[in-house]
Amino acid sequence: MKRDLTTLTRKSYDLLVIGGGIFGVCVAWDAALRGLSVALVDKGDFGHATSANCFKIVHGGIRYLQHADIYRIRESSRERNTLLRIAPHLVNPLPIVIPTYGHGLKSKEILRTGCLLYDMITFDRNRALEDTQQQIPPCRLLSREECLSMFPGLNRVGLTGAVMFYDGQMHSPSRLALSFLKSAVSAGADAANYVEATGFLKRADRIYGVKATDRLTGNTLEVQGKMVLNTTGPWAERLLKVGTGLSLSRPLFFSRDAFFAVARPLVEKCGLALQGASRDPDALFSRGSRHLFVIPWRGHTLFGVWHVVHKGSPDAFGVTENNLRDFLAEINDAYPEFGLTLKDVSSWHAGLVLFGENKPGATDLSYGKRSIIIDHATEHDLEGLITVIGVRYTTARGVAEDAVDLVFRKLGKNAPRSMTAETPIWGGRIERFSEFLRQSVTQFPSGFGHAIASNMVHNYGSEWKGVMKYADGDPGLAETLGGTSVIKAEVVHAVREEMAQKLEDVLLRRTDLGSGGYPGEAALRTSADLMAAKLGWDKAHIEREIADVKKFFPLHACSKNEHLQNVKK
């Protein structure tokens, strides 16, 4: 991928996508694969906001049982199946245990009934999944003894056992979003990061493009499209107001969804759902409080997700020290054996997610809980503009398919059948991943540890050799960065072939350097030096990049006695 702003200004595209999160890149991929000329721009890096900071779970919809929302269960199960097939290097099954207590709503009898119903509703959850290692097994019951052998710190009073269900887990949400985008570019789309849409190009009652600013140089430009699709998430309505003076007919609510990571494995191979303190107010069949999830992830443990309705600017949210203390207290109350303190938190992550209105008397509780596609010709008599605001990372591909169908109708063209549910994304052309992984690891040069090789195969899939080629001509690029499993060649590859423009792009979204916490000063500086050699940074620029990156690791950017900064992830 090359950042070519001149090309963007010289073409008139069928579709211009604003926003490079998971919904935007899926739209770009679907549209390009169906033959439309496509451009995509984002004011920051691709997948830099909510998409990068999701909880890494590919939801199969089991939690929607208590809402009696069959539509979302079917949708989630279908899209989980798709991701397991088209991205087997980045999405794999994960078992999760829910302990059962007594004989009421938290009992094994109730959960067993729910699981049987869920298995029936998702009867086709493994459709076309030939790799048995990628298949989602049916739910199963665990005895009290089995449950305690796995999680000995559980409250034993009234414990009767557990149920186990399976969801998917992402190896890296950022790499998954980037792989969708690289697939779009391979299909002919043009893309550029750090290009901010500041207004719309308008003629009469029709939008035909955007005015934009290159945030790296300050230069202004215009990008034209017969249709413009706004997928900027929590920034969507603000862009609409700035560009047209219009507002959405119904208010949107967003939740700050956050989780934190601990840099050691407190649970292994299996996730755990604990009863928290907060309730789900619109559940039709509530079992009481919401679940807190404890998830193993690549040698780390993830704790989440905790929701807070956010009513301010989408640029002004974060996690404070008090927020973390409260959440740690809730986790420790549910599972005292963890005994977590602030010192255990290696990183926190948060994003804004569309949230359903739960006010008393609300008649449509699904509004805001399902992704929204708005044709502004219908809502505002304004042609050429569509807004898509998604809810769950899992369902982005399917929502994108519906949005592109609408684009074809607005263009007056017959829509070819979408092939994105059947086409492997970049790196995903793998028949049986576990076998592919075993064979690939043996092909790495001698001296490569298994963890390093395995992470590269997971991150780049069938395209891993394209990264290693940089080390073929320069053996020094096969060296790891600090104590991480990332090699220097990945940094060079990120700059040359994945449009990395800033150190944070490499650290947080192209590689695993910052995925679990602060990678250390040596890794930062070596990475910055490698980027500087390719991008022409001087010493002052390098120091600015390092300082900017440290803002994402506030526990390391300040002294141990200072408060955790309220920095947006």
Within 249-320, residue ranges assigned H as helices are none
pLDDT tens string 67-78: 889 999 999 999
Query: Is the backbone of residue 444 left (phi > 0), alpha (psi -120 to 50) or beta?
Result: beta
pLDDT tens string 27-59: 999 999 999 999 999 999 999 999 999 999 999
* Cα angle 310, 169, 161; round to 5: 95
Domains defined along the chain, listed by start: 5-51+174-250+369-411 (3.50.50.60), 92-170+252-355 (3.30.9.10), 433-557 (1.10.8.870)
Dihedral pair phi/psi, residue 9, rounded to 5°: -85, -15
Q: Which residue has the tokens 């249709």?
A: 227
Cis peptide before 305 (omega within 30 of 0): yes
Predicted local confidence at residue 319, as pLDDT = 87
pLDDT tens string 403-422: 999 999 999 999 999 999 99
pLDDT at 424 over 80: yes
Predicted local confidence at residue 129, as pLDDT = 97
User: Cα(38)–Cα(11) distance, rounded to whole angstroms?
Assistant: 10
Tokens matching residue 179: 């792989």
Q: How far is CA 251 from the centre of its chain?
A: 24
> Over the chain, what is the mean pLDDT?
91
With bands split at pLDDT 50, 70 and 90, how would you rate the model's confidence at 558? very low
**346 or 206, which is more confident:** 206
pLDDT at 249 over 90: no
Predicted local confidence at residue 564, as pLDDT = 42
User: Cα(143)–Cα(306) distance, rounded to whole angstroms?
Assistant: 29
Predicted local confidence at residue 562, as pLDDT = 33
Count of residues for the chain? 569
Q: What is the 3-state secondary structure (H, E, C) of 340-388?
A: CCHHHEEEEEEEEEEECCCCCCCCCCCECCECEEEEHHHHHCCECEEEE
pLDDT at 561 over 50: no
User: Cα(548)–Cα(551) distance, rounded to whole angstroms?
Assistant: 6
Reported pTM: 0.94
pLDDT at 264 over 70: yes
Tokens matching residue 129: 């999944």
Average pLDDT rounded to a whole number, residues 484-489: 94
Average pLDDT rounded to a whole number, residues 220-245: 96
pLDDT tens string 278-336: 655 444 444 456 789 999 999 999 999 988 888 889 998 888 889 899 999 999 999 99
User: Cα(70)–Cα(284) distance, rounded to whole angstroms?
Assistant: 13
pLDDT at 556 over 70: no
User: Cα(137)–Cα(17) distance, rounded to whole angstroms?
Assistant: 37
- Three-class DSSP category at 455: helix
152 close to 335: Cβ distance less than 8 angstroms: no
pLDDT at 566 over 50: no
User: Cα(329)–Cα(349) distance, rounded to whole angstroms?
Assistant: 18
Predicted local confidence at residue 311, as pLDDT = 86
Name the residue type at position 380.
H
Tokens matching residue 157: 């009073």
Strands 372-375 and 385-389: antiparallel
Is residue 512 packed enough to be buried (19+ CB in 10 Å), middle (13-18) or exposed (0-12)? buried
pLDDT tens string 142-168: 999 999 999 999 999 999 999 999 999
The CB density around residue 532, as the number of other CB atoms within 10 Å, is 17
Tokens matching residue 291: 């679940």
Predicted local confidence at residue 567, as pLDDT = 38
Q: If we measure between CA atoms, which residue out of 171, 195, 186 comes closest to residue 46?
A: 195
Tokens matching residue 451: 């963890």
Predicted local confidence at residue 559, as pLDDT = 30
111 close to 291: Cβ distance less than 8 angstroms: no
With bands split at pLDDT 50, 70 and 90, how would you rate the model's confidence at 366? low
Q: Which residue has the tokens 């929590």?
A: 234
% residues pLDDT > 90 (the chain): 82
Q: Could you tell me how many helices (H) and strands (E) the chain has, helices first?
A: 18, 17
Predicted local confidence at residue 560, as pLDDT = 32
- Three-class DSSP category at 141: strand
Predicted local confidence at residue 37, as pLDDT = 98
Tokens matching residue 505: 């792009």
Average pLDDT rounded to a whole number, residues 242-269: 91
pLDDT tens string 525-547: 999 999 999 999 999 999 999 99
Predicted local confidence at residue 286, as pLDDT = 46
**323 or 22, which is more confident:** 22
User: Cα(549)–Cα(543) distance, rounded to whole angstroms?
Assistant: 10
The CB density around residue 133, as the number of other CB atoms within 10 Å, is 14
% residues pLDDT > 70 (the chain): 93
Predicted local confidence at residue 250, as pLDDT = 84
Q: Which of 12-16, 143-147, 356-360 has the lowest mean pLDDT?
A: 356-360
User: Cα(231)–Cα(233) distance, rounded to whole angstroms?
Assistant: 6
Predicted local confidence at residue 327, as pLDDT = 93
User: Cα(309)–Cα(318) distance, rounded to whole angstroms?
Assistant: 12
Tokens matching residue 513: 């350097």
Q: Which residue has the tokens 């600090």?
A: 482
Predicted local confidence at residue 423, as pLDDT = 98
31 close to 13: Cβ distance less than 8 angstroms: no
Angle of helix 396-411 relative to helix 22-33, nearest 10 degrees? 50
549 close to 539: Cβ distance less than 8 angstroms: no
With bands split at pLDDT 50, 70 and 90, how would you rate the model's confidence at 66? confident
Average pLDDT rounded to a whole number, residues 324-349: 93
pLDDT at 353 over 80: yes
